[in-house]
Amino acid sequence: MAKQYDVLFRLLLLGDSGVGKTCLLCRFTDNQFHPAHISTIGVDFKMKTIEVDGIKVRIQIWDTAGQERYQTITKQYYRRAQGIFLVYDISSERSYQHIVKWASDVDEYAPDGVQKILIGNKADEEHKRQVPKEQGLQVSGGCCVSPPESRTPPAPPTWPASP
Ligand SMILES: Nc1nc2c(ncn2[C@@H]2O[C@H](COP(=O)(O)OP(=O)(O)O)[C@@H](O)[C@H]2O)c(=O)[nH]1
Ligand SMILES: [Mg+2]
């Protein structure tokens, strides 16, 4: 039987509850968006295999619950991660302020030199924006590799405000 993949990468999604981590994952693996917020319990994961320069790369993305009560469990997954996405919601100043805390947990529990990527999610909610793009750039300079903003639903004008 042909080998299903050549290399495996384990990536981890971190950030406050409700910032859109599970939606980002579903968009990446299944190209789907679910408008309802169903809290992730502890840790969950999805996989996708992509081909890069003829190499089959299996990406295993671990999705964590943002709530404090699950953090003893989720921290056990930091150690095996090769890359970490730190996610905030551009319409929530609070979720952005907490990035500093998430990043310091990464420094404490993840392997040295782990790649970090900052994601300012819900970029379609421009009218509700509380975190200026420049602010995202500032924090990314201190803790992360790149500062993209993202949106997981389709076109912004038709998207209703989330609950
Ligand atoms: N407007 C908008 N809503 C989003 C986006 N991503 C997620 N949501 C909504 O935000 C809520 C929380 O998403 P979820 O992925 O469950 O958050 P998690 O707790 O971080 O996993 C849900 O109601 C989603 O529909 C986005 O890019 N734009
Ligand atoms: Mg979730």
For residue 21, the ligand closest to its alpha carbon is: 1
In a domain, 1, yes or no: no
Q: Is residue 2 part of a domain?
A: no
CA of 44, nearest ligand number? 2
pLDDT values of the chain reduced to their tens digit, one per residue, 163 residues = 677 999 999 999 999 999 999 999 999 998 888 887 788 787 889 999 999 999 999 999 999 987 777 777 788 889 999 999 999 999 999 999 999 899 999 999 999 889 999 999 999 999 999 999 888 777 666 666 555 566 665 444 333 333 3
Give a yes or no: residue 42 inside a domain.
yes
In a domain, residue 154? The reply is no
Asked, for residue 156, whether it belongs to a domain, the answer is no
- In a domain, residue 30? The reply is yes
Tell me the residue range of the domain where 118 lies. Answer: 7-143
Question: Using a 6 Å CB cutoff, which residues line ligand 1?
Answer: 15, 17-23, 35-37, 40, 66, 121-122, 124-125, 151-153, 159, 162
Number of structural domains in the chain: 1
137 belongs to a structural domain = yes
Q: How far is the CA of 155 from the centre of ligand 2 (A)?
A: 22
Assess if residue 150 is contained within a domain: no
- Specify the DSSP class assigned to residue 63: E
CATH number at residue 50: 3.40.50.300
Global pTM value: 0.85
Between the CA of 15 and the centroid of ligand 2 the distance, in Å, is: 9
Where residue 19 falls (left for φ over 0; alpha for ψ -120 to 50; beta otherwise) is alpha
- The ligand 1 atom at the shortest distance from the C-alpha of residue 125 is 1
Atom of ligand 1 nearest to the CA of 66: 19
Q: How far is the CA of 36 from the centre of ligand 2 (A)?
A: 11
